[in-house]
Structure formats: structure tokens, C-alpha cells
């Protein structure tokens, strides 16, 4: 079934050989999506329970032609990448368009890897997950999350029948993590006029990991500091290698780091900006920065997780007001426990990377996926941030 697209991929290979390749193109990913949705899938496993979870999760994305490739997979643990070896071996045991397998990533203790290969042995998609003793999910839950992310990363969204034939289930095209990132970027927009040689962002959860990335072109060097190692594992930036900076952005909020003129904790800077944590609730911080990042919105605090949860709840309520929506479910989980108690950044991301809202609608209605984005944009426009001199 790849015959129609062979020329498309051949052209991509030629671009690489000629040194003119600029990255993946929308039409290439679209071709992969179309082939996946039309193709026959072989799940390479001798475990019937694992096959059942694979089949049922793939069905949520409209992939119904799924068969088990029953192969004793123990021998593949001797390979350098056991999961990939499983998927590739499946081609010799059953005729399919794609083969999917989950197994160990590499060395014992390295965690799991779920991968899709096509009939030619090309890797189409893959996601890794941490060792079980770190994420502590059941096999079924971990497998569900992996397959979900495996297909979502290609832009394939789940849409399937509801509890009855007269209903249908839709998922938002954006995740909980996406909503948090957009809110953080709104805060970062207020800070974009700050420039200099060095920036230190204090407080990685949850704004810091986004804001540091958003402002990286404004400074020659950008650092992020958080006392939690699991939070630092999410950071795109290095830990600080000095104590003096041009600008410090303090995002620790209520109960956070002490800030006085020119100093935040043990760090010093010419300019210090602190996020004002108060919303509808007054949260005294006693901080004395040069500027405050303030919020104007009907939320108890300005924290991005607080705002994310409130936004997704509000989105669910507005979706339920639509004529054809029977009910809307905000997919919220207390992910902080995974990050701060279990100390697993990978598990935190797994939970945050599921669709933000799921709705059940009348099949004979006219609900469109675009409604998710339309209503989310309306809500986010109501949230305002400003920079105020302290």
C-alpha cells in the first residue's frame, strides 16, 4: 500500500543526499498517517493480555485491522534494542503493512520502548517510557499511554464510538501539557523586552521550563534552577554555574525563595522579576524585586497548574453547553504527586500528555473537533498578565 508514496519518500532521501533537506514535511507525515489508518497491523507478542490492550487502544484511533503475531519473544532480550528486534522479526511470521512491539529499550534497567515499523523495516514511530520501578504503572496502563503517545506524535487523534451506536467520543487535539505551555507563554510574552548576557530562571515548575525556552533568544546564556532534581530533568537549560546574572526571573511564588533588592536567595542580578502569586486569594510573599509579574483573572492563584486546571474545567463546562454534547470529561490527574513524591519526570509527562478533554456527543449531530480550540482560545483571552514596577 506504500506504492503511491514511494516517490514522495524517494525525493526526501535525495534531498538529504544533496544537502538540501530542511526537515520533515507535512505531506510526508500525512502520507504516514493515511497509510497507518488504512493498513493492517501486526502486534508482535506471545502475551494475549498485551495483545488485547494493543488492539483495543489502536481501535480508539480507528485502526481496526489488527492481528497477533504470536512469536516467543524471550530471545530478543539478547539484542541491543529488544523491542525493535521484535517488531522487525514480525515481518517473517505474518504478512502485514505495519508491525508494532513493546519491550526493553536497551540494556536491562533502561526502561521500555514501543515502536512501529513498516513492512520494509522503516521505523515509523516510537516512544520510550521509564523502568517500571520508577513509573509504577501497571503493564496495561503503561502500554495504553505508550500507544496513545505513539500515534498522537504523528498527529493521529482518537475518535471512536461511544457506549452506544448513537453516540461518539471525541478527544481534544491538545493535551493538559499543551494548555500549561500556552499559559506560560502568555506570561513569557510580558517578559520578552528583557535582554542581556545572562538570565537565571528560578523555579522550574511549571512555568520555568517553558519561559526559559521562550526567552532563550533574548540572552546569550539562559540557566534554570530548581531544588527538585525531577523538575530539573524537565528543563531544556543548564543549572547555573555562577551567582551573578543580568536578569533573574523568580517563579517560586507563595512560600518560595526570598527576594530582596538585587538578590534572590544566594543569586544576584541587576534586575529581578518575581511572579505575584495572588489572584482572588491574597498570598503575601514579602518579596522585594524590581518588578512583579501580575495576573488579572478570576483564579485564586496565578500558578500555571492552577490556571491549567481551571481552564480545562471551564472548557469542559462550555463544551457541555453545546447542543450535541452529552457530557465532557476533563482528563485531570494530580500529576504533581508523580513529579514531587514518586520523583519521576517521565511519569509526570506521561500523564500530562493525554488529551485535556473528552466529550461524548450525539452521532447524528454536527460536533466538530475545531470547537475544542475555539472555546480554549476564548478562555485564554480572558487571562491577562502585566509587568508592574515594585
Per-residue pLDDT tens digits for 211-255: 999 999 999 999 999 999 989 988 889 999 999 999 999 999 888
Q: What is the overall mean pLDDT for the chain?
A: 92
Model confidence, pTM? 0.77
pLDDT of residue 2: 52
Least confident of 21-25, 74-78, 332-336: 332-336
pLDDT of residue 19: 95
pLDDT of residue 197: 97
Please state the rounded mean pLDDT for residues 16-26. 94
Please state the rounded mean pLDDT for residues 156-175. 86
Q: Give percent of the chain with pLDDT exceeding 90.
A: 73
- pLDDT over 60 (residue 1): no
pLDDT of residue 340: 83
d(CA 20, CA 12): 9
Please state the rounded mean pLDDT for residues 354-382. 95
- pLDDT over 90 (residue 325): yes
Q: What is the CATH number of domain 186-300?
A: 3.40.50
- Residue 52's pLDDT band, with cuts at 50, 70 and 90, is very high
Q: Which CATH number fits domain 37-156: 3.65.10.10, 3.40.50.300, 3.40.50.10150, 1.20.120.1200?
A: 3.40.50.10150
- Residue 334's pLDDT band, with cuts at 50, 70 and 90, is confident
Amino acid at each position: 500500500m506504500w506504492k503511491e508514496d514511494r516517490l514522495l519518500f524517494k525525493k526526501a532521501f535525495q534531498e538529504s543526499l544533496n544537502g538540501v533537506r530542511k526537515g520533515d514535511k507535512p505531506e510526508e507525515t500525512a502520507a504516514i498517517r493515511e497509510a497507518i489508518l488504512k493498513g493492517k497491523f501486526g502486534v508482535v507478542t506471545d502475551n494475549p493480555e498485551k495483545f488485547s490492550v494493543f488492539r483495543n487502544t489502536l481501535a480508539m484511533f480507528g485502526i481496526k485491522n489488527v492481528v497477533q503475531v504470536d512469536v516467543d519473544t524471550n530471545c530478543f532480550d539478547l539484542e541491543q534494542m529488544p523491542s525493535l528486534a521484535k517488531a522487525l522479526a514480525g515481518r517473517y511470521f505474518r504478512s502485514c503493512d505495519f508491525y508494532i512491539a513493546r519491550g526493553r529499550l536497551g540494556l536491562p534497567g533502561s526502561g521500555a520502548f514501543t515502536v512501529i515499523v513498516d513492512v520494509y523495516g522503516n521505523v515509523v514511530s516510537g516512544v520510550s517510557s521509564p523502568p517500571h520501578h520508577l513509573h509504577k504503572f501497571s503493564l496495561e496502563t503503561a502500554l495504553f499511554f505508550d500507544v496513545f503517545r505513539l500515534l498522537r506524535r504523528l498527529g493521529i487523534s482518537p475518535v471512536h464510538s461511544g457506549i452506544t451506536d448513537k453516540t461518539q467520543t471525541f478527544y481534544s487535539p491538545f493535551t493538559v501539557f499543551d494548555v500549561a505551555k500556552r499559559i506560560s507563554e502568555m506570561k513569557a510574552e510580558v517578559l520578552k523586552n528583557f535582554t542581556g548576557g545572562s538570565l537565571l530562571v528560578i523555579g522550574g515548575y511549571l512555568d520555568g521550563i517553558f519561559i526559559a525556552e521562550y526567552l532563550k533568544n533574548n540572552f546569550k546564556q539562559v540557566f534554570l534552577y530548581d531544588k527538585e532534581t525531577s523538575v530539573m530533568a524537565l528543563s531544556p537549560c543548564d543549572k547555573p554555574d555562577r551567582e551573578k546574572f543580568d536578569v533573574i526571573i523568580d517563579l517560586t511564588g507563595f512560600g518560595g525563595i526570598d527576594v530582596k533588592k538585587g538578590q534572590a536567595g544566594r543569586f544576584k542580578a541587576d534586575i529581578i522579576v518575581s511572579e505575584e502569586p495572588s489572584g482572588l486569594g491574597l498570598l503575601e510573599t514579602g518579596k522585594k524585586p524590581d518588578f512583579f509579574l501580575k495576573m488579572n483573572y478570576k483564579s485564586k492563584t496565578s500558578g500555571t497548574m492552577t490556571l491549567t486546571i481551571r481552564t480545562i474545567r471551564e472548557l469542559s463546562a462550555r463544551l457541555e453547553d453545546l447542543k450535541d454534547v452529552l457530557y465532557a470529561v476533563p482528563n485531570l490527574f494530580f500529576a504533581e504527586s508523580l513529579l514531587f513524591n514518586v520523583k519521576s519526570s517521565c511519569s509526570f509527562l506521561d500523564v500530562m500528555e493525554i488529551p485535556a478533554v473528552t466529550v461524548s456527543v450525539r452521532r447524528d449531530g454536527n460536533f466538530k473537533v475545531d470547537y475544542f480550540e475555539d472555546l480554549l482560545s476564548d478562555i485564554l483571552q480572558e487571562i491577562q498578565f502585566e509587568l508592574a514596577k515594585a
